[in-house]
Amino acid sequence: MAKLVLVADDEVSVQEALRDILEDNGYRVQCASGGRECLKKIESLNPDAVLLDIKMPEMDGIRVLETVSQRGMNVPVILITAYGSTETTIEAMKLGAFDYLMKPLKVKEILETVDKAVEIKELMDRPANQRGEREEIDSYAMIGMSETMQNVYKTIGRVANTNATVLIRGESGTGKELVAMAIHRNSVRNDRPFVKINCASIPENLLESELFGYEKGAFTGAVSSKPGKFELANKGTLFLDEIGEMSLNTQAKLLRVLQEKEFERVGGTETIRVDVRIISATNKDLDRCIEEGSFREDLYYRLNVVEIVIPPLRERKSDIPDLVRHIIRHCNLEYKKAITGFSPEAAALLKNYDWPGNIRELKNVCERAVLMSSGPVLTVEDLPISLQKKTRRAGWLNEISGGSLKEIVAEVEREVILRSLEENNWNRSAVAQALKMNRSTLYAKMKELGIID
């Protein structure tokens, strides 16, 4: 059966015009002349999409949209108006409007928007398991089946049930905390606390008290005693992130705890004994830090009984599709979306990009795309412009295979001219103008590069 679109507008002429456009393109159409009538028909007809005018009697479009959102009505609402404003647009999108169209309406824009809305409604109506979603998604799941990640999993499996200290190395955003959590969850300590602290985010003069706690009156502002991370992690696991940022003074105190399993709170005299497994992580080259004198060699060997190196995302690009699917499923649940994935062109861009920010950057890009997209499939247009440009430039440069500088320059020139010719339907005058050269020079260059005989 043809999909049903509800048109809500107080002007009969607008209703008739939209009815003609939609019916000519295979849709069934029902109309409403006011906000309350629109709500009743949404409840009784369960339309596949709603075209809703903002200015209407009894109840305006914004109030209708607010009611639809409050009642959890499962229908995409497209607002239409001749009186757009920044505030109205923002409010409409906050309330969950599928899209926002301005009068005078364009036929192509109406049909494209309604087509996308109907696709979304169809996905929203499917059971969660048919959309490839789960009721809950493990936020700490480690994703990827590449060989490098398989090696990481094997190491986690070997060390999880021991008490060995583990040092996790990797660039920022590679998922070092996820590895630490995986070790804890697979250990005999998994029912005990997993406590984490980022050594880079806490000022040097406060890090010691955060780790070991303090007694009342130990310093200005210490109005009561407070346990530190070591006490909170007793019998469990303490994760020291960015360990390379720790000062030498705090390193010495940490070394003592690792050796003797005991410490005193700042300003205290009582010795506190703890049973804590230490997992640390860094994006620094600690070997170089040792040579420079900023990291203690004896502490390094205490922390680095087992080392796990997390590869950057650019070295495990085969994992990107699985990572993207996991991120999108998570975003669908969090933002009540029904995104099915990226288009082939967008997926290719994601795979060709080098991801200097690693998984953290990938997650940011995917989350932004899910939030901004109005259709079930994320396209190239949903990706940041900066990523599109960098990927295209990188892809082009990777294709250059010339040996000498002269050969490389010739290959680049040939590529630029060919692309311009294609963009201008091989109109040499237009190409010469676009490349800011005269026609005779362009003609000579095309012959030199073998583009023409």
CA distances from 223 to 203, 216, 219, 226 (A): 20, 5, 9, 9
* SS3 annotation, 151-219: HHHHHHHHHCCCCCCEEEECCCCCCHHHHHHHHHHCCCCCCCCEEEEECCCCCHHHHHHHHHCECCCCC
Residue positions counted in the chain: 453
* 8 A C-beta contact, residue 366 and residue 320: no
List the chain domain ranges: 4-128, 147-311, 314-396, 403-448
Helix axes 385-399, 344-352, angle to 10 degrees: 70
What CATH number matches the domain at 4-128, 3.40.50.2000, 3.40.50.2300, 3.20.20.70, 1.10.4160.10?
Answer: 3.40.50.2300
Rounded to two decimals, the pTM is 0.63
Phi then psi for residue 425, to 5 deg, are: 55, 35
Taking 50 as the pLDDT cut, the residues of the chain under it are 127-136
Predicted pLDDT at 410: 80
Write down the pLDDT at residue 133.
Answer: 41
Q: Does 147-311 match 403-448 in CATH topology?
A: no
268-302 pLDDT, tens digit per residue, is 889 999 999 999 999 999 999 999 999 999 999 99
Architecture of domain 403-448: Orthogonal Bundle (1.10)
Separation of alpha carbons 381 and 372, rounded Å: 10
What pLDDT was estimated at residue 131?
43
- Give the list of residues 6+ apart from residue 56 with CB closer than 8 angstroms, or none: 8, 9, 10, 33, 34, 35, 38, 64
Structure confidence at residue 132 (pLDDT): 43
CATH code, residues 314-396: 1.10.8.60
**Token digits of residue 234:** 């007793």
User: So what's the pLDDT on residue 335?
Assistant: 83
Q: Dump strand ranges (E) for 33-190.
A: 49-53, 77-81, 99-102, 166-169
User: Which amino acid does the sequence have at 296?
Assistant: R
- CATH for 147-311 is 3.40.50.300
pLDDT, tens digit, 9 for 90 and up, residues 70-113: 887 888 899 887 765 556 666 777 677 888 888 888 899 899 88
In this predicted structure, what is the pLDDT of residue 129?
42
